[in-house]
């Protein structure tokens, strides 16, 4: 019997599979800071006890893209303790290792003569620890350079359009068993989705047929780290995108533990989803018991064995609908608190009964989702204070929600929409725009989404700046291709900017996403102190430079004096920001733009055309602006605006800008030196039209409209000022 078992062991490849360890999660929390390391320590201990050939990790080994020194040290200590020993390695890597491990050394770590590696670890990267920076390095590269981890599945996106990748397997042999291990580190789901649907964008390399080993003799395993379940199919990878020659798939990134392999109908392969080893989201899916998978492969046969993790902190989750509880009075808050206290106590008792090791009982995580439709809420932090020292998360035991009007089925879809911690704290911009039926008029949605992702998750401080600069330059270059932009009709200018946006959206859909591009709608000019208006008067771009510069290369304006001149061939003009918090003076073109914006006329294309006409002519007419700066009336300019069309005349009669509040210094409509702003000319014109009774009635009507539609004045706090 012993000889038979030894013979089987020689031909059986034993792999321990785990995903989403998230080392360093909540490392500053006094209670939960060690949870991720204790779970990873247990995983490595199980690998030693079961005498596996290697440990396979499915991404997100680290929780942060730039893990702290403490997290790196603890991870290296755990791997060094369990992986470096004199135990023999019984399998061979027979593929080209320089392709499988594209690092300085180019070979599997246990073949290094300077190290005794007894437990090889193979890992791909996830979305939390993905490569970034100039050298495209990941935190897993650090462990690879230490010869503790074999890092594979790192793709170089080549080609044009959406890009092209080639997935080469690590060919492993143990006795008569041959395994082809494919790895695909995390790529943005939208892009990988398009790549799978683009012919020849994703190429799979197969092992060559050799004497005694045909292509069909290889057992093919794929490890990937992508969205699996998503309401928007473009933000996930469909299982049917994967090739049919695969036999077994390890799916990372999803935190719900579905470790039992499930066959995909019509595809012929099985999928296991081990889930995370530490609870990072307090939702129902993460409350299920955590497991790792022992995978034994012999020939083309495999045997899965799930192994529970006992060091994981217990987590109890339940949902309550207050209107379904008979002992709660909707007008009595104390009755709600008493009922919730009973529920919390029952969950704590339930957790203690489930504990395997009573001597090392950990404080449990408790989460109660409360549907408070028709009831009042209570303060979750105040409620949790009485459970300090009894639960691990006293500050967020309760989470309140309301049932959807369409039914509770919609709410449940959100919870089962699986289980990434970031989904609880932030929302994808593309989904937000689609959900609210918003129309992006300045920026492509994809650029905005990529910029925010890199700023938050990759700590890219220049993400927004690079995005703004890229889109501004792209729009300017396309507008400047015409011979004389100042001779455009107002409708042409509006259409030109719209065409630029459409072109950028098409480019984003067919090419890889550029790093960031932002701009802001015209409404933002009411909130921020640093502004620059475009020639069409329909968009305002922002800069946090202290000295503003004209977009076409004209000289910058410094000090407290606002620029009142513009080059004849300059379609774009900027304004300076004076000292103080959001009290900078704007140019005449900006004031004309904000006039229409404050009156809420942006929805009307006719009013937008009038704003564009006034802006272009005020920029082009340098003599008129010089006369305005010297205090002379700007009658000619007002006449030109009034002569544009009859409707434009009525627009200006109704569109007088409201005087700024007193005591605002440089933010008032009249400067300290007694020079009147551009709006004073419009006001004098409006006041001068009181000669006839009809004109006075028109002005009264205009004032009534202003009182109704004028937005409330708010202080600007200079959100884009440089940090000191």
Report the candidate in 523, 520, 507, 521 with the shortest Cα–Cα distance to residue 467: 520
> In this structure, what token pair is assigned to residue 401?
């929600």
How many other C-beta atoms lie within 10 A of the C-beta of residue 582? 20
Query: What is the helix, strand, coil percentage profile of the chain, to 5?
Result: 40, 15, 45
> In this structure, what token pair is assigned to residue 5?
């078992």
- In the set 128, 253, 255, 291, the catalytic residue is 128
> In this structure, what token pair is assigned to residue 721?
């000022």
> In this structure, what token pair is assigned to residue 418?
């699986």
Q: What is the distance between the alpha carbons of residues 531 and 132, in angstroms, rounded to a whole number? A: 32
Report the candidate in 397, 568, 590 with the shortest Cα–Cα distance to residue 485: 568
Q: What is the distance between the alpha carbons of residues 682 and 651, in angstroms, rounded to a whole number? A: 12
Q: What is the distance between the alpha carbons of residues 274 and 254, in angstroms, rounded to a whole number? A: 8
Q: What is the distance between the alpha carbons of residues 574 and 27, in angstroms, rounded to a whole number? A: 46
Contact in structure between 311 and 18 (CB atoms under 8 Å):
no
Residue 128: active-site member = yes
Residues with Cβ within 8 Å of residue 441, at least 6 apart in sequence: 498, 501, 521, 538, 539
Q: Which residue has the tokens 């090739």?
A: 243
3-state secondary structure of 143: helix
Contact in structure between 88 and 189 (CB atoms under 8 Å):
no
Q: What is the distance between the alpha carbons of residues 503 and 506, in angstroms, rounded to a whole number? A: 5
Q: Are strands 170-174 and 92-93 parallel, antiparallel or unpaired?
A: antiparallel
Q: What is the distance between the alpha carbons of residues 273 and 266, in angstroms, rounded to a whole number? A: 19
Indicate the burial class of 712 (C-beta count within 10 angstroms; 0-12, 13-18, 19 or more).
exposed
Residues with Cβ within 8 Å of residue 433, at least 6 apart in sequence: 440, 445
3-state secondary structure of 371: strand
Q: What is the distance between the alpha carbons of residues 217 and 206, in angstroms, rounded to a whole number? A: 12
Contact in structure between 367 and 354 (CB atoms under 8 Å):
no
How many other C-beta atoms lie within 10 A of the C-beta of residue 426? 12
Under DSSP, the state recorded for 533 is E
**In sequence order, which ranges of 137-207 are alpha helices (DSSP H)?**
139-145, 189-196
Which residues have a catalytic role annotated? 128
């Amino acid at each position: 019997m012993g000889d038979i078992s030894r013979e089987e062991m020689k031909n059986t490849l034993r792999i321990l599979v785990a995903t989403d360890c998230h080392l360093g999660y909540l490392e500053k929390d006094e209670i939960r800071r060690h949870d991720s390391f204790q779970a990873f320590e247990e995983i490595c201990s199980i690998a030693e006890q079961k005498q596996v050939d290697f440990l396979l990790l499915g991404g997100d080994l680290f929780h942060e893209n730039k893990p702290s020194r403490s997290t790196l040290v603890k991870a290296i200590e755990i791997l060094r303790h369990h992986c470096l020993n004199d135990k023999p390695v019984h399998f061979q890597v027979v593929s080209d290792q320089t392709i499988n491990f594209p690092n300085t050394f180019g070979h599997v770590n246990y073949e290094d003569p300077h190290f005794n590696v007894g437990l090889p670890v193979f890992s791909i990267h996830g979305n939390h620890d993905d490569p970034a920076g100039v050298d495209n390095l990941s935190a897993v590269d650090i462990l690879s350079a230490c010869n503790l981890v074999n890092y594979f599945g790192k793709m170089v996106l080549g080609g044009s359009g959406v890009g092209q990748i080639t997935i080469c397997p690590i060919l492993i042999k143990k006795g008569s068993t041959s395994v082809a291990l494919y790895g695909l580190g995390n790529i943005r789901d939208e892009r990988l989705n398009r790549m799978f649907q683009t012919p020849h964008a994703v190429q799979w390399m197969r092992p060559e047929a050799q004497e005694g080993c045909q292509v069909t003799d290889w057992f093919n395993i794929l490890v990937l780290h992508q969205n699996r379940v998503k309401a928007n199919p473009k933000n996930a990878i469909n299982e049917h995108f994967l090739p049919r020659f695969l036999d077994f798939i390890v799916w990372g990134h999803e935190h719900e533990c579905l470790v039992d392999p499930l066959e995909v109908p019509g595809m012929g392969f099985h999928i296991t989803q081990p889930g995370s080893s530490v609870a990072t989201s307090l939702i129902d899916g993460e409350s299920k018991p955590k497991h790792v998978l022992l995978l034994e492969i012999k020939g083309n046969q495999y045997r899965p064995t799930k192994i529970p993790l006992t060091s994981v902190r217990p987590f109890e989750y339940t949902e309550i609908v207050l209107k379904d509880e008979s002992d709660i009075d909707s007008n009595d808050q104390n009755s709600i608190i008493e009922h919730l206290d009973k529920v919390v106590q029952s969950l704590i008792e339930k957790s203690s009964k489930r504990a395997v090791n009573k001597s090392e009982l950990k404080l449990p995580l408790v989460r109660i989702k409360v549907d408070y439709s028709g009831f009042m809420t209570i303060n979750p932090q105040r409620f949790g204070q009485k459970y300090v020292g009894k639960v691990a998360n006293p500050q967020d035991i309760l989470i309140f929600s309301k049932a959807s009007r369409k039914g509770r089925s919609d709410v449940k879809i959100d919870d089962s929409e699986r289980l990434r911690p970031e989904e609880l704290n932030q929302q994808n911009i593309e989904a937000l725009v689609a959900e609210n039926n918003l129309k992006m008029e300045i920026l492509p949605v994809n650029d905005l989404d990529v910029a925010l992702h890199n700023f938050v998750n990759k700590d890219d401080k220049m993400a927004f700046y690079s995005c703004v600069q890229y889109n501004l330059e792209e729009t300017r270059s396309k507008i400047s291709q015409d011979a004389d932009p100042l001779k455009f009709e107002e409708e042409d200018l509006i259409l030109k900017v719209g065409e630029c946006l459409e072109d950028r959206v098409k480019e984003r859909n067919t090419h890889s996403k550029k790093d960031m591009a932002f701009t802001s709608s015209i409404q933002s000019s009411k909130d921020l102190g640093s502004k620059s208006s475009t020639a069409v008067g329909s968009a305002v771009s922002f800069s946090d430079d202290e000295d503003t510069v004209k977009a076409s290369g004209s000289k910058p304006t410094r000090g407290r004096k606002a620029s009142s001149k513009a080059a004849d061939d300059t379609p774009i003009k900027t304004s300076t920001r004076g000292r103080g918090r959001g009290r900078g003076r704007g140019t005449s073109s900006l004031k004309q733009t904000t006039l229409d914006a404050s009156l809420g006329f942006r929805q009307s294309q006719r009013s937008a055309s009038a704003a564009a006409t006034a802006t272009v002519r005020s920029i082009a007419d340098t003599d008129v602006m010089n006369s305005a700066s010297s205090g002379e009336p700007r009658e000619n300019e007002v006449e030109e605006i009034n002569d544009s069309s009859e409707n434009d005349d009525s627009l200006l009669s109704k569109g007088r800008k409201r005087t700024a509040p007193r005591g605002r210094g440089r933010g008032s409509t009249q400067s300290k030196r007694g020079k009147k702003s551009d709006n004073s000319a419009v006001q004098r014109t409006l006041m001068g039209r009181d000669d006839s009774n009809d004109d006075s009635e028109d002005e009264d009507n205009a004032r009534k409209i202003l009182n109704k539609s004028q937005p409330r004045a708010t202080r600007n706090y200079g959100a884009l000022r440089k940090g000191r």
